Structure 1
Amino acid sequence: MKKRLAAALLALVLLGTLCPPVLAEDSVYFTAVDERVLDLKDSTMPFWFGGYLYVAATVFRESGLGYSFNVVTQTLVLYDSSRSLVFNVATGSGTTGQGELYDHVCVTRGGVTFVAASPVASYFSRVYSNTPVNHGYLIRVKSASAVLPDSMFTDTASYQLDAKYQQYQKQSTTNPTDINTGEKGEAEGEDPASSGKSIYLCFLAEDAETVAAWLDALESRGFHAAFYFTEEALSRSGDQLRRIATSGSTVGLIPGFGAGAAERLAAMNRTLFAEAGMKTRLVYEPDGDAAALRAAGYCPLNPIIDRAEYGLGSSGAANSLLKQIGKRRSSVSVWLGSDVTAGALRAFLASAAEEADRLPAMTETAF
């Protein structure tokens, strides 16, 4: 009962049946409210989480909703004349103005709080749309004051979009955060301009004490990663799964090689939902049938760098890995396995921070 209650407080939702659209490497998500295109910034760039596109909560303030943030209680409130949503920023959980549990968590990244765009828009009688445009996608939230339909607005706003994109490119002191990562075949070679890239660390989560040490190291620097669980490890890791979910990192599944992988993944997702109120499409099965997994609606990991054979057990190994990553021209996904000491991980994270690298959690769009 306690596990189910904790899962309910997390309020993470079931994922859809298909992976979100994959963006080109230089693509971005623009945001607009009614007929106004908002500034394009890395700090407020929308991202996919739990099967929903998340936007900065301030987007809804721009659309006319009341917005209140209490620093002491770490509470964010969105409201209009008849409804409200109250989010506990520390845990991510939310409630309605009637005190009922809200189905979608908030997520805080870099001090900015994000909310699920489509559900929150619907709750406050706004209209949400996601339209392909030059350089990426346009996320639009329309209030009753909106005049132009999306098809007409994307045409009339083309100049605004281009101007925002050019301004974004000029203001970026490093390469923009890559939304589409993890693909093989990127050009190798030394590139001084390659610092500041996104590094997607992926661990095999077997020992609870070791995983806790990894989380401590990541959280101390505000970094995130992906933790992949076998069926056996998943069944005994309820508290840790909840910690991973609330920390902003992600959970992946390892179904084991052989027939029936889809059935095992479905069962594992039921366990994950019972323990932490969430499901995942992230899977890792290097010897499995990746095409079959994708057809079943999952997103198999295909890491650019597989470090599991060598481990990460010393500061020297950490420096070696960082140099290997530095040879890439774009974002890098790294499979570390489980042979990683907390000390070596801290050394790697410290060096990555000095290089202005970003360590976001793996998502379904990072493929």
Structure 2
Amino acid sequence: MKKRFAAMVLAVAMLLSLCPAAMAEDLVYFTAVDERVLDLNDSTMPFWFGGYLYVAATVFRESGVGYSYNIVSQTLVLYDSSHSLVYDVSTGSGTDGQGDVYDHVCVTRGGVTFVAASPVASYFGRTYSNTRVNHGYLIRVKSSSAVLPDSMFTETATYQMETKYQQYQKNTTAVQTPDRDPTGTETTDPAENIAGKSIYLCFLAEDANTVSEWLDAMENRSGHAAFYFTEEALARCGDQLRRLAASGGAIGLVPSSGDHPTEQLDRMNKTLFAAAGVKTRLVYAAGADISTLQSAGYCPLTPGIDRSKYGLTTSGEASSLLKQIHSRRSAMSVWLGSGVTIGALRTFLSSASAEEDRLLSMTEIAS
């Protein structure tokens, strides 16, 4: 056993010597079923939502749970010989085999449906674990067929995870370049412009009608984004919050300036839960003590580009922003604020689509 493990470690070292080292590393979530590590990619990457880690529903199919998806009725069914969960993908709601409402919604992102890992695993007699590993975390769902305990599997799966991570890095290089002037006057080597970017757009949500227009524009382009709500907006945007919760858009909170932001955020989460049945740890709090928020369990947004001072109101500004994003090598988060007109947003989304960019919801890792 020791000889096999030593050989495995040597193989990993050789693999690393052949791959270019990244100047910066993004934490990722690996997923595994029993003794097999699944492919690592953005489309099926687990994420935190409503206080639970969500995994692609297909993970449970890999674990031997029955899986049926009806594209016409927009219904996903997970089942075994004695249990079933029926999800309405369009609303996110679910019921169990007795027709009772299930406590945990499903979330759809980029055409992939995700479910809450821990409670669904327990429901179908599986066990679930979340282990810190090199490059991030390993989410493992175990059936009765699993042989190795988590501690031993984490060691023996090192080569599998390293191989999949290096392949993932080839597609999403994690090198961050210095910030640049958002007016578009910077000079950039055209050879460094990289299409097919992962973009996390972040809006300041204050007005219900405006949020609905932004959501319409995003959905027309099959894109996702993050919407950060003020406390006042939470009280009047119930429909928009429920729409985001069902569609997989990210919901964040914006506390007002004060001495006790965590108390306000806890209160805001209660309002959010009452409106949409979810809670969030995503926060935008410019000027707040980041370490205090993190200690309280929140994930403050630190955008790669802050566009809020300039707005996004013309096609020229939309073009300039996309050029700025493409001058960076890594995935990019953009804080747009609330000064975004629907025409400029549509222009930006159309151009991003032409470049094959991926418009993603903010996650707790990316924030």
Aligned to 1:9: none
Native 8 Å contact 2:107 2:245 kept in 1: no
Distance 1:43 1:250 in 2: 15
Distance 2:39 2:328 in 1: 29
1:30/1:268 Cα in 2 relative to 1: closer, same or farther (>3 Å)? closer
Native 8 Å contact 1:219 1:247 kept in 2: no
Give, as a single letter, the amino acid of the residue that structure 2 aligns with 1:361.
S
Are residue 292 (structure 1) and residue 292 (structure 2) matched?
Answer: yes
Distance 1:291 1:26 in 2: 20
Range with greater deviation from structure 2 (294-303 or 308-317): 294-303
Aligned to 2:115: 115
Distance 2:37 2:291 in 1: 39
Matches within 5 A, 1:37-116: 37-116=37-116
CA-to-aligned-CA distance 1:321-363 (integer Å, 9 cap, x gap): 1111122221222111111111100110111112222111112
Range with greater deviation from structure 2 (32-41 or 236-245): 32-41
Look up the SS of the partner of 2:78 in the other structure: strand
Give, as a single letter, the amino acid of the residue that structure 1 aligns with 2:360.
P
Look up the SS of the partner of 1:267 in the other structure: helix
Aligned to 2:341: 341
Shift of 1:143: 0.8
Are residue 175 (structure 1) and residue 172 (structure 2) matched?
Answer: yes
Are residue 219 (structure 1) and residue 204 (structure 2) matched?
Answer: no
Are residue 233 (structure 1) and residue 230 (structure 2) matched?
Answer: no
1:214/1:131 Cα in 2 relative to 1: closer, same or farther (>3 Å)? same
Native 8 Å contact 2:200 2:333 kept in 1: yes
Distance 1:312 1:252 in 2: 20
Native 8 Å contact 2:193 2:327 kept in 1: no
Distance 1:253 1:134 in 2: 31
Look up the SS of the partner of 2:274 in the other structure: helix
Native 8 Å contact 2:90 2:247 kept in 1: no
Shift of 1:27: 4.4
Range with greater deviation from structure 2 (27-36 or 83-92): 27-36
Range with greater deviation from structure 2 (308-317 or 230-239): 230-239
Look up the SS of the partner of 1:85 in the other structure: strand
Aligned to 1:281: 281
CA-to-aligned-CA distance 1:297-340 (integer Å, 9 cap, x gap): 22222222121121111111100111111222212221111111
Shift of 1:165: 4.0
Shift of 1:141: 1.1
1:295/1:28 Cα in 2 relative to 1: closer, same or farther (>3 Å)? closer
Shift of 1:223: 0.9
1:165/1:185 Cα in 2 relative to 1: closer, same or farther (>3 Å)? closer
Native 8 Å contact 1:66 1:78 kept in 2: yes
1:250/1:83 Cα in 2 relative to 1: closer, same or farther (>3 Å)? same
Distance 2:301 2:177 in 1: 15
Range with greater deviation from structure 2 (238-247 or 318-327): 238-247
Give, as a single letter, the amino acid of the residue that structure 1 aligns with 2:320.
S
Distance 2:297 2:159 in 1: 37
1:207/1:193 Cα in 2 relative to 1: closer, same or farther (>3 Å)? same
Distance 1:228 1:134 in 2: 31
Matches within 5 A, 1:137-286: 137-166=137-166, 168=168, 174-175=171-172, 186=178, 190=189, 192=192, 194-286=194-286
Distance 2:165 2:310 in 1: 41
Number of corresponding residues: 336
Distance 2:167 2:320 in 1: 36
Distance 2:319 2:149 in 1: 52
Gaps of 5+ in 1: 1-23
Distance 1:357 1:146 in 2: 39
Identity fraction in percent: 71
Distance 1:238 1:29 in 2: 31
Distance 2:284 2:159 in 1: 42
Give, as a single letter, the amino acid of the residue that structure 2 aligns with 1:200.
Y
1:267/1:48 Cα in 2 relative to 1: closer, same or farther (>3 Å)? closer
Native 8 Å contact 2:109 2:249 kept in 1: no
1:314/1:38 Cα in 2 relative to 1: closer, same or farther (>3 Å)? same
Distance 1:88 1:70 in 2: 10
Aligned to 1:361: 361
Gaps of 5+ in 2: 1-23, 181-187
1:344/1:158 Cα in 2 relative to 1: closer, same or farther (>3 Å)? same
Look up the SS of the partner of 1:297 in the other structure: coil
Aligned to 1:352: 352
1:87/1:331 Cα in 2 relative to 1: closer, same or farther (>3 Å)? same
CA-to-aligned-CA distance 1:106-146 (integer Å, 9 cap, x gap): 12223222211111111111011122334443222111121
Q: Give TM-score, length-normalised by structure 2.
A: 0.84
Look up the SS of the partner of 2:82 in the other structure: coil
Shift of 1:40: 3.3
Distance 1:193 1:42 in 2: 21
